[in-house]
Amino acid sequence: MKEWWSGLQVSERRILIIGAVALGLILPYFGIWQPMKNDVAELEKQVQEQQAVKRWMQQSSAEVQQLRGAGNSNSVRPQDGRSLLAVVDQTAKRSGLGPGLKRLEPEGQASVKVWLEQVAFDQMVAWLTSLEQKNGLAVDTITIDRQDMDGRVNARMTLEAPGA
């Protein structure tokens, strides 16, 4: 290596030294600083998006709380003397959820557990809304599992009568 270096002319050595210094300055910029700067910008963008989602969730939570309070004040029990099991069973069948209604189980005097399989999500939500508006039943707990077929779900829920 020393022989090669000493065999070079002074102008060639100068060009190689200037090139090495320039490479020593440019390489850290493009190899470290620029990628880091891009990553920081991407992370800042993700933080802004997450903050927007958080704001939306907080607003939605407030709306849900407001609607939950409004729904309870308008709730009424079925006055035809039917049991909760009968109300849930009959309304599910009328809503087209009968084939997916796999199990009903009483949970005390004022609540019932329901298992639905392979039902249309939109149809289930419409049924739950109708149950709350017409019969005063509200969802206490719910677990929904998406299925392979579009729009189909399995759901396990506990429905409660008002004041339970």
Measured CA to CA in angstroms, residue 111 lies from 27, 55, 86, 150, 159 at distances of 69, 34, 12, 30, 5
DSSP reduced 3-state for 103 = strand
Measure the CA–CA gap between 87 and 136, rounded to whole angstroms. Answer: 11
Structure tokens at 100: 């997916």
Measured CA to CA in angstroms, residue 103 lies from 7, 112, 117, 154 at distances of 92, 10, 10, 12
pTM, rounded to two decimals: 0.51
Q: Going residue by residue through the chain (164 aa), what tens digit of pLDDT does each one get?
A: 888 888 889 999 899 999 999 999 999 999 999 999 999 999 999 999 999 999 989 888 888 877 776 554 443 345 456 788 888 999 999 999 989 999 999 988 788 999 999 999 999 999 999 988 888 888 999 999 998 888 899 999 999 987 65
Q: Which of 110, 115, 160 is nearest to 140 (CA)?
A: 160
**Edge-to-edge strand list for the sheet holding 152-160:** 101-106, 111-120, 152-160, 138-146
DSSP reduced 3-state for 137 = coil
